[in-house]
Amino acid sequence: MRLDAVVFGGGVAGLWLLDRLARQGCHAVLLEAGELGSGQTVASQGIIHGGLKYTLQGLLTPAAKSIRGMPGVWRDALLGRGMPNLTRTRVRSECCYLWQTDSLTSRAGMIGARVGLQIKPETLSADDRPDALRQVPGTVARLAEQVICPRSFLADLAGQYQDRLLKIDVANGLRFRLQSPGEITAVELTDLQSGRELVLTPRQVVFTAGAGNAALRKMAKLDDAVMQRRPLQMVLVRGELPALNGHCVDGAKTRVTITCDVDARGRMVWQIGGQLAEDGVAMTPRALTQRAAQELQSVLPGVSFDQTEWSTYKTDRAEGATSQGSRPETAQVLCAGNVTTGWPTKLALAPVLANEIASRITAEASSAPFQSAAWADWPRPAVALLPWEDPHRQWWPQPKSTMEATPQRRAA
């Protein structure tokens, strides 16, 4: 079937792009090898960043410039005032909080964070602080950065474009016909269960499959070393916890980033990233939760973790490669032949990536309405579960922290 575009990867980048292409009249479909969002998207914390964390050294960095308008773009979509229409996407919180450890470097960081952004911190009085931050000794500020449920976002767009989503088997059910490296003339699919075959002939092929982009580029005879991975090991805590979404900063670093949600059994779950998740990549899960317990006691005095359970999960931030392996400043796009490869870098930057890629694709396949009858009975991808809803996940009791285990000296 002749198409304007075939998009690989059903995470935030691919689905946002599919919506954009469909709205500009393109005949486009999306192919997903696993579950929608099963890589970075569903594992993300769902914060629609406005760039503040990139200005903690007092500079308006390129990263901050590229992302500073994104909260407004997402807010319009979530309210139905912009595209895509995300009115069925669940918003976990309308804001995040920013607080600091009680140090001079943290105070300098908070001052630097106010430079040149559309979303700026609003310092709160003691009475206006959320319960979890009542006893924090330093500054507490509120940021108008929304926090969404990534799985809800995935389900929202999947519901709108179910007729354009196809599940594939990359290893055994996908082949490219190549005219030359990066010039794909046909995408050949095989449904391994039924044996049925489907041939798509797109004018443009787009890889937005996160870590999967490397394998796809290799199949297209393109360089697969243009991608890098920066791993994280995130911490989960569930139990009797207060609601909290925000960042604790220490100087120019985000010490911990905490987001929360309620699981299927009504328990509060905290998802903890930031520097803790970067430093904990090589640690065992038990050792990392031990470290996390110490950090949380330090940055959240007064919050009790009695009767809580803990777990961790690993995820990769797959991005376009940089010379030093550091985080790219913005979304990245590579073009070769009729193949475009994209990485949004941050969930919030999906609109930037979609706009850039969609501007290169025009609707020329046909003037007739889009028809999906050719794959009406083809398998469809499901939406991935949130990390804490995995039925096979192991949880363990509250770890004993060093602060608890070490006898406290008292003044004579």
CATH number where 165 lies:
3.50.50.60
Name the maximum alpha-carbon separation found in the chain.
87
State if pTM tops 0.85: yes
Q: Element (H or E) spanning 307, and its range?
A: none
Q: Does residue 308 lie within any of the structural domains?
A: no
Distance CA 40, CA 303 (A): 30
Q: Does residue 297 lie within any of the structural domains?
A: no
Q: Does residue 85 lie within any of the structural domains?
A: no
pLDDT for residue 55: 47
The total of other beta-carbon atoms located within 10 Å of residue 351's CB is 23
Question: What token pair was written down for 242?
Answer: 């207060």
Domain that holds residue 20: 2-42+153-228+320-375
Distance CA 70, CA 95 (A): 14
Q: Does residue 309 lie within any of the structural domains?
A: no
Q: Does residue 202 lie within any of the structural domains?
A: yes
Q: Does residue 357 lie within any of the structural domains?
A: yes
Q: Counting runs of H as helices and runs of E as strands, what totals does the chain give?
A: 11, 19
Q: What is the CA radius of gyration of the chain?
A: 23
Provide the domain count of the chain: 1
Question: What token pair was written down for 13?
Answer: 């980048």
Each residue's pLDDT expressed in tens, for the chain with a length of 412 residues: 899 999 999 999 999 999 999 999 999 999 999 999 998 999 999 999 875 555 454 444 555 566 678 888 999 999 999 999 999 999 999 999 999 876 645 554 554 455 444 456 789 999 999 999 999 988 899 998 999 999 999 999 999 999 999 999 999 999 999 999 999 999 999 999 999 999 999 999 999 999 999 999 999 999 999 999 999 999 999 999 999 999 998 876 889 999 999 999 999 999 999 999 999 999 999 999 999 999 999 999 999 999 999 999 999 999 988 888 878 878 899 999 999 999 998 899 999 999 999 999 988 866 678 888 999 999 999 999 999 999 999 999 988 754 444 443 333 3
Q: Which residues pair with 249 in a beta bridge?
A: 100, 254
> Which of 244-279 are b and which e, b meaning 16 or more Cβ less than 10 Å from the residue's Cβ?
bbbbbbbbbbbbbbbbbbeeeeeebbbbbbbbbbee
Q: Does residue 207 lie within any of the structural domains?
A: yes
Distance CA 283, CA 98 (A): 27
pLDDT for residue 398: 87
Q: Does residue 337 lie within any of the structural domains?
A: yes
Distance CA 342, CA 209 (A): 8
